[in-house]
Amino acid sequence: MKRFVQLYRDLESTTKTNTRIQFLAKYFEESSDEDKLWAIALLTDKRPPKPLQSGVLKAIAAEAAMLSSWLFDETYLVVGDLSETISLLVKQEYEIEDFSLAHWMTEISNLKKKDEEIRIAYVLNAWKGMDVDTKFIFNKLIGGGFRMGVSQQLILKALAIHTNIPQEVLAHRLMGKWSPNDTDFQQLVRSEDQRNDAVPYPFYLAYALEGEVSDLGSLEDWVIEKKWDGIRGQIIKRNGEVFIWSRGEELMTEKIPELHFLKNVEKDFVIDGEIICHDGKEVMPFANLQTRIGRKNLTKKALETSPIAFITYDLLELNGADLRETSLEKRRLELSLLTSEINSEKLILSEEINANSWSEIIEIRSTSRQLKCEGLMLKRRSSAYKVGRKKGDWWKWKLDAMTIDAVMIYAMKGHGRRANLYTDFTFAIWHEGNLLPFTKAYSGLTDAEMKEVDAFVKKNTIDKFGPVRSVIPTLVFEIAFEGIQLSSRHKSGIALRFPRIHRWRKDKLANEANTKEDLLALLNQINPS
């Protein structure tokens, strides 16, 4: 475990990509196969279920530290991170053997099956034999909040150094649903792709367009498509079975019965595309998809009100043949033939946008919201289907965000390095002479601005509600967001998609902020009645 703790420290100590890769490669070189496997699982979000809820951890930690619950909570508010708070307050009582990462993770995995009493006793005993750093990582692992801020590309590069296996090959071998409890390092990483039919291909991701679109050269070299606001996914049909994966490597087959008919299609294939809700005429708002996918039990009503379809972008495999190295133009031709053959309204071929000039494309992009999409995708006709995010051949060209000026009315302290600063804010707009709260945001300010706003909150607090501070409504901020819709779950009746702080409007007074009517006007521009 100490080696894994050291890896965490090393990675936290630098933001230099090459240095972080070296740290990861060194860990793989020095660790056992069992520890390497668990490290890969943890770094790629394949964690076991947490054995104890945060409330239980707080309660037993307060008791172990001999603190009242209110004092523990106040300490937690200052520290800002539950795992760190526990590691600092609960003292080590004795030295124990440095068990391996695999040992701890196997025991944590098995804890979920045991009675809560046994789980609590196990955690309390474990704490007694750990130093502060080990306890911090252990708490992250049992609390389900472990994050190391390492991209999959860094892990693949480090593994490639360690194994001498190309990154693209490793990326495919790490895809899909696997667990260290039922596989091993050699089987996972060094197997000659003896994988089961359910395993998807690594996704090819686009970069945001840089510079002017006309800089891309001849329009004839590019496939232009709408960028839909859904869930990127792959449909795998092999040997009479269908598997549907999200880009986040979640197996979603059971949640999408609308596509189960594909198991009866004669041909085998792997299709890349977008999972969306579609009423048979047009794409429905992302909120429908969010509600539908979030359900544990699918009801008849959910199937009727939020029917799912799949917009097909690309064909990666056909009858066992890997097509990824062929050109996009050829893959699209095969995809068109396949979707025509299947002939289902649940499988929609992504439409190629035709235009005579880049200026026409610019005009089409400007109407994206009316077209129910986020913008455009630009793909080079000659491009292969690559692994991960690569520059040059695939670009996403989203619409600029919508913005609204709002007044900050509540503030709360952040977490981690922001634990001592007020960085999480609630904003309001005007409605019938009063400020109406309508969204929260915490990103978008510089470090210097955060400190300035924090000082304002501390000097201008009106009231306290637990960790929340009500402040004098003076500061105005421009809030950017990607989408807007009516919502009965919000007090304002409106919900924003991906809200964030765009800039601090020091040039505006609170009474100059926008109104609910302004927001509704934006909504009406997108969805005119």
From residue 353, how far is each of 35, 212, 362, 476 by CA, in Å? 49, 19, 12, 40
Percent of the chain with pLDDT over 70: 97
Is pLDDT of 395 > 90? yes
Confidence of residue 151 (pLDDT cuts 50, 70, 90): confident
CATH code: domain 2-143 is 1.10.3260.10
- pLDDT digits 0-9 by tens, 71-81: 988 888 778 78
Q: Where are the domains of the chain?
A: 2-143, 153-189, 204-398, 402-526
- pLDDT digits 0-9 by tens, 51-75: 888 889 999 999 999 999 889 888 8
Kindly give, in sequence order, each residue whose CB lies less than 8 Å from that of residue 235, ignoring residues fewer than 6 positions away: 242, 243, 244, 259, 262, 269, 270, 271, 273, 310
Instruction: Identify the pLDDT of residue 208.
Output: 92
Give CATH superfamily name and number for 402-526.
Nucleic acid-binding proteins (2.40.50.140)
Is pLDDT of 194 > 60? no
CATH architecture for segment(s) 204-398: 2-Layer Sandwich (3.30)
Confidence of residue 394 (pLDDT cuts 50, 70, 90): very high
Residue (of 45, 121, 133) closest to 88 by Cα position: 133
Mean pLDDT taken over the chain: 89
On the 0-12 / 13-18 / 19+ scale of CB atoms within 10 A, 57 is buried
What are the phi and psi torsion angles at 407 (to 5°)? Answer: -105, 130
Q: How far apart are CA 249 and CA 199, in angstroms?
A: 10
Instruction: Identify the pLDDT of residue 93.
Output: 83
Percent of the chain with pLDDT over 90: 54
Alpha helices in 421-489 (DSSP H): 447-459
CB atoms within 10 A of CB 328: 23
Buried b (16+ CB within 10 A) or exposed e, 178-193: bebeeeebeebbeeee
**What beta strand segments (E) does 365-418 contain?**
375-380, 388-389, 394-398, 402-413
Q: How far apart are CA 497 and CA 481, in angstroms?
A: 6
Instruction: Identify the pLDDT of residue 417.
Output: 63
